[in-house]
Structure 1
Amino acid sequence: MNLKMIVAASVVGLAGTSVHAQVAPAGLSDRYTACHARAGDNTVQQGICAQSEMGSQDARLNKAYQEVMRQLAKTPEKRLALRAEQRAWLKARDYECKVDQETINSSCLVMKTASRADELERMIRF
């Protein structure tokens, strides 16, 4: 995920994706949920919270994805399927979090990325 895609303006609530409007993914940091609670309805502050958390969630997502891909090393068809699934998920996430041509709901990106990271982490065999 390219962090430049996250536009400074966070438009929380347009798509019903505020932290308080839905069940938060398990992997969200306590720092983010506290920051978001302090931000209240201030969209600038919400955007600052989301940008900080996005780096952490993107790292979680990438780590989990790489581990699942590593575990699928002996099954190329499953690796290809996961890669196609991940690409489709990225396109869908970016589309669903787009407010307009120039604005992306950064809180939406955080929530969806954290949910996908949770999902990939559940796929890892320990």
Structure 2
Amino acid sequence: MRSITRVLLALALVAAAAPGDTAGNPARPDRYEACLDASGGVTVEMLDCAEVELSWLNSRLNGHYGEAMAVLPADQRVALRDLQRAWIRYRDLDCGFLNDQALAGSSGLLLQSSCLIDKTRVRVGAMKDIEARARMLFKGDVAN
């Protein structure tokens, strides 16, 4: 059973460290993979690596969100805010479920972190697209 958990954990971490995402956003394999490699498989250190990567991704996500909000009309800003809040709730519940399935042990925490990174990477790409469409449709318009 432990070997299956280790294999699943290794696959999850490789997926989280994969360069780029489906929206063409570059990952930071130079930092994230190097951090994971340097962790020596120590859970606490791997979780620290994941925290740094997730923080970086959230910063990018918030940047694109803010830029989109700056050009959208008021009604669409409210819609985007509601959409983003719902997505955050979904992401956190979905990734928390992985932790719950692993009985909240260290492997669960690693799976949850990997899930948060994967989903946030994809969302950064989606938000980047939302920002680009907002700029294209509402450029020159002053957001109210």
Q: 1:12 to 1:109 in 2, by over 3 A?
A: farther
Over the residues paired in the alignment, what is the CA RMSD in angstroms?
A: 3.0
1:93-125 Cα shifts (integer Å, max 9, x gaps): 101111139665122212211221121112223
Worse-superposed segment, 93-102 or 35-44: 35-44
Between Structure 1 and Structure 2, the one with more helix by share is 2
Alignment of 1:22-101 (within 5 A): 24-25=20-21, 26-29=25-28, 30-37=30-37, 39=39, 42-72=42-72, 75-98=73-96, 99-100=99-100
What SS does the aligned partner of 2:13 have? coil
Q: Distance in 2 between matches of 1:82 and 1:76?
A: 10
What is the CA-CA distance between 1:71 and the residue it aligns to? 1.4
What is the CA-CA distance between 1:45 and the residue it aligns to? 3.4
Higher relative contact order (CA 8 A, sep 6+): 1
1:119 paired residue among 123, 126, 129: 126
Alpha-carbon contact 1:50-1:110 (below 8 Å) kept: yes
Alpha-carbon contact 1:27-1:115 (below 8 Å) kept: no
Instruction: Give the structure with higher Rg (CA).
Output: 2
Alpha-carbon contact 1:17-1:107 (below 8 Å) kept: yes
1:34-73 Cα shifts (integer Å, max 9, x gaps): 333555755333212101112211111111111011110x
Q: Distance in 1 between matches of 2:68 and 2:126?
A: 11
Worse-superposed segment, 92-101 or 35-44: 35-44
Q: Indicate the percent of aligned positions where both proteins have the same amino acid.
A: 36
TM-score under structure 1 length normalisation: 0.69
TM-score under structure 2 length normalisation: 0.62
Q: Distance in 2 between matches of 1:69 and 1:21?
A: 28
Unaligned runs of 5+ in 1: 1-10
Q: Distance in 2 between matches of 1:107 and 1:12?
A: 14
Q: Which amino acid aligns with 2:121?
A: A
Unaligned runs of 5+ in 2: 1-5, 136-144
